[in-house]
Amino acid sequence: MQKITVFWVLLCVFSNATGQKPNKPGDYLLPEFHIERRQALRDQMPANSVAVFFSNSVRNRANDVNYVYHQDPDFYYLTGHQEPHAVLFIFKEPQLINSSTTDEIIFVRAHHALMELYDGPRLGKEGALEKLRLDMAFEGTEFERFNLDFTSFDKVLFYDFFNDVRDTKEKGDLFDLIRQFREKVGYEQDDLSIEPRNNNLDIVMLDSLMKNLRGIKTQEEIALLRKAVDISTIGQREVMKAMHPGMSETEVQGIHEFVFKKYQSEYEGYPSIVGAGHNGCVLHYIDNLKPEIEDGELILMDLGAEYRGYTADVTRTIPVNGRFNPEQKQIYDLVYEAQEAAMEVCKPGAGFTDLLKATREVVNNGLVELGVYKSAAKKHITDPETGRNRYYPHGCCHHIGLDVHDKGEYDVLQENMVITIEPGIYIPSGSPCDKKWWDIAVRIEDDFLVTREGCELLSDLAPRKSEEIEALMKESSPFGELVLPELKD
């Protein structure tokens, strides 16, 4: 134990002596943001309650390799903490803890010299106090001995647990924290319909409170979302210029994601969707393995950069050879018209269903006019309330933010919501229509800020009109000139 402690001290001294520059960019959300968000949650909580948040689990990829860690969005929103194996308590009213009064406590990983040599430094409870500016911090190993009478609260708010947390065998890890919490509050079964030991446990209310908060974006969040959207649209532009028949879907994906990294986007906000030809008819196609995209095909590209935790969501559909054929252009322009109709409706007070119905009406009427289906279109409509049909099977809008499908209410639009509008038409082979329409798949997805009087299109750097796309695709790109040696057989 003494050797480990000495090693840790020497490691810290060495790190400070090198005078290295900070390893992270300087435009992450500041502690003041997270402090204010914790207070905003506290203001909404019922009297005499405590809200409990656990960090995300570490997910295993294979054998001794884990996926790159990604923090739980609620946990990051409230703390800024990006490490695993932590739990946060937010109290409605101040509590007397260890002879001090506090309304928030965080438990974080203890320092571990050997593991930090492999994985990098840990924040520790000192860092949680200093850098995150939490009011009170402990090490996760201290939670087992932490005495808090949970029966004294009218409400203990938390999310239900999923069976996806591995026991790392490190004392005080997330596995331990969850097990110990369940024991402390008397939630030892997986179903609250079974009478728990304490009847003050609530696994429903917290999600509603977080939706109220996260659905309306602050100015700091909007600034980061603007950057994420701009990066994503620049990726779309570069691919439009570089696109030519013979490219692979993986190559197209690579150009997008190179642009993301060029602008210091940490991750993709979700698995990239790059579907050429019939693959575009698969709504969440993420294989992206087609080795050679053919002349005359469309390619649907749904990708979003994640920047400082905030995710864009932008889709463009373009002709691989630079020119839409007549049928492709007709379908594309119909989807564009549907999106324009929703934009006209998008303003505070409008319902999410109003935007959906606007797009459905344009798509349904347009497909009848094109003869894709007969005037007796009702047989193709599966939901009379929304006009949902076989060729437009998904919704129109969702919140974006820390999640690509972000938390928020889906009733009435409010100022400073950031949402998508994404109509689409997908006509797979074998559809009951003229074969000339088969394998045409078009989605146009853009990101919008709801303003006081309407909406602002955030993703306008990537052209939306068919004529503008064709014009941009005539420009040259360094990616289009990239030639690499052939791989050996």
- SS3 for the chain is CHHHHHHHHHHHHHHHHCCCCCCCCCCCCCHHHHHHHHHHHHHHCCCCEEEEEECCCCCEEECCEECCCCCCHHHHHHHCCCCCCCEEEEEEEEEEECCEEEEEEEEECCCCHHHHHHHCCCCHHHHHHHCCCCCCEEEHHHHHHCCCCHHHCCEEECCCCCCCCCCCCCCCCHHHHHHHHHHHHCCCCCCCCCCCCCCCEECCHHHHHHHHHHCCCCHHHHHHHHHHHHHHHHHHHHHHHHCCCCCCHHHHHHHHHHHHHHCCCCEECCCCEEEEHHHHHCCCCCCCCCCCCCCCCEEEEEECEEECCEECCEEEEEECCCCCCHHHHHHHHHHHHHHHHHHHHCCCCCEHHHHHHHHHHHHHHHHHHHCCCCCCHHHHEEECCCCEECCECCCCCCECCCCCCCCCCCCECCCCCEEEECCEEEECCCCCCCHHHCCEEEECEEEEEECCCCEEECCCCCCCCHHHHHHHCCCCCCCCCCCCCCCCC
**Residue 85 main-chain phi, psi, to 5 deg:** 60, 60
Catalytic residue among 238, 406, 422, 439: 422
Catalytic residue at 443?
Answer: yes
Catalytic residue at 394?
Answer: yes
Catalytic residue at 42?
Answer: no
Catalytic residue at 380?
Answer: no
Catalytic residue at 313?
Answer: yes
Catalytic residue among 64, 411, 453, 489: 64
Catalytic residue among 238, 313, 403, 439: 313
Catalytic residue among 302, 403, 406, 447: 302
Q: Using CA atoms, how far apart are residues 82 and 36, in angstroms rounded to an integer? A: 18
Go through 368-389 and write b for each residue having 16 or more CB atoms within 10 A of its CB, e for each that does not: eebebbeeeeeebbeeeebbbb
Catalytic residue among 37, 316, 380, 443: 443
Catalytic residue at 256?
Answer: no
Catalytic residue among 426, 439, 446, 447: 426
Q: Which residues pair with 440 in a beta bridge?
A: 427
Q: Is 33 exposed, middle or buried (0-12, 13-18, 19+ CB in 10 A)?
A: middle
Catalytic residue at 398?
Answer: yes
Q: Using CA atoms, how far apart are residues 321 and 218, in angstroms rounded to an integer? A: 42
Catalytic residue at 266?
Answer: no
Catalytic residue among 394, 460, 467, 468: 394
Catalytic residue at 27?
Answer: no
- The answer to whether 62 and 53 have CB atoms below 8 angstroms apart is no
Catalytic residue among 34, 226, 256, 398: 398
Residue with tokens 């570490």: 58
Catalytic residue among 284, 344, 385, 460: 284
Catalytic residue at 340?
Answer: no
Q: Using CA atoms, how far apart are residues 111 and 468, in angstroms rounded to an integer? A: 55
Pairing state between β 446-450 and 455-457: antiparallel
Catalytic residue at 111?
Answer: no
Catalytic residues: 64, 284, 302, 313, 394, 398, 405, 422, 426, 443, 445
